[in-house]
Structure 1
Amino acid sequence: MPLTFELDPRIDPALRDGVLTLWTDVSNAGGSVGFVPPVTPDDIRPEWVKHLTAVAEGRTRLLVGRDEDGAVAATAFITHNTHRLMRHWVWLYTVMVHPRHQGKGYGRDLMAATEAAVRGLDGIDAIRLTCRGGTGVDRFYASCGYKEVGRVPDAIRVADGDDRDDIIMYLPLTP
């Protein structure tokens, strides 16, 4: 059964806890969403609060995917640029699908829902995101239409002796 997506959902305790659980579970499954396992919800909470603050201030939009039980199963954060010369594109952050839903096509569904949401924003011509090298996720984003436009070697230190490239990907929304 497909996910149901909602842009800018009401932030209530169930959503707050659902995203925190999702983020923890994705991180502990090895997802590259800003943490290295093992993590607890308490480790992730400060970053989640930063995201919530950006949403409350209108700098970031939250896209949530819910499964058939109504549980938070996927997220993407769409962040507006504040620099006057870069307001025509947005950043995509913290793109996650719960590990129990891997292999169901929900990642593609999330990326399509994100693209549709951004296409609905006035004056936005493109989406940019970064991803951690060595995970293969750059190939996934490429299969969704994103193109690699930059790479910073060894920019992400996962652990001592394990440095990964920071890969910049871009999806133009205009021909």
Structure 2
Amino acid sequence: MALTFELDPSFTPALRDGITALWADVSNAGGAVGFVPPVTAEEIRPELLKHLVDIEDGRTRLVVGRDEDGAVAATAFLALNAHRLMKHWLWLYTVMVHPRHQGKGYGRDLMAAAADAARSVEGIEAIRLTCRGGTGADRFYAACGYKEVGRVPDAIRVAPGDDRDDVIMLLPLGPATP
């Protein structure tokens, strides 16, 4: 069964806890979403709070995917640019699919839902993201239509002696419809 996606859901304690648990599970399974394993929900909560402040301030949008049981199974955050010369594109970050749902095509579904959400924002013509090199994420995003447009060597230190490239990718959407 496919995931059901929602843009800008009402933020409830259950949603907060679901995203926190998802983020911990993805991180602890080796996902490159800002942490390295092991990580706890308590360590993730302050980072999620920053995301929530940006949502509340209207700077960020949230796409949530739920499984057939209604559990949070996927997320993607879309951050609008504040810089007046860059308002025609947005950032996509904290893209996650729960490990138990990976390999089912849900990641591609999430990326399509995120692109649809971006298209719904007036004036948005492209999505930009970064990903940690050495994880295969860049190949996944390329398969979803993103193009590598830059790379900063050794910009991400996941452990002493383990530096990874910061890969910059872009998906042109074309002019957004008003």
What TM-score do the two structures reach when normalised by structure 1? 0.99
Match of 1:109 in 2: 109
Match of 1:127 in 2: 127
The CA distance in 1 between the partners of 2:39 and 2:137, in whole Å, is 21
Return the letter of the residue paired with 2:50: K
Match of 1:6 in 2: 6
How far residue 130 of structure 1 moved from its aligned partner, in angstroms, is 0.1
Q: Alpha-carbon deviations, 1:19-38, whole Å to 9, x = none?
A: 00000000000000000000
**2:152 maps to 1:152:** yes
Could you list the structure 1 runs, at least 4 aligned residues long, displaced by more than 6 angstroms after superposition.
none
**Across the two proteins, how many residue pairs are aligned to each other?**
175
Q: How does 1:1-175 map to 2 (within 5 A)?
A: 1-174=1-174
Return the letter of the residue paired with 1:21: A
Q: RMSD between aligned alpha carbons?
A: 0.7
The CA distance in 2 between the partners of 1:43 and 1:120, in whole Å, is 33
The percentage of aligned residue pairs carrying the same residue is 77
Secondary structure, counterpart of 2:95 in structure 1 = strand
How far residue 174 of structure 1 moved from its aligned partner, in angstroms, is 1.2
How far residue 117 of structure 1 moved from its aligned partner, in angstroms, is 1.0
The CA distance in 1 between the partners of 2:57 and 2:168, in whole Å, is 26
Return the letter of the residue paired with 1:146: Y
Q: Alpha-carbon deviations, 1:133-153, whole Å to 9, x = none?
A: 000110000000000000000
Q: Alpha-carbon deviations, 1:59-108, whole Å to 9, x = none?
A: 00000000000000000000000000000000001000000101110000
Secondary structure, counterpart of 1:111 in structure 2 = helix
Secondary structure, counterpart of 2:22 in structure 1 = helix
The CA distance in 2 between the partners of 1:60 and 1:115, in whole Å, is 14
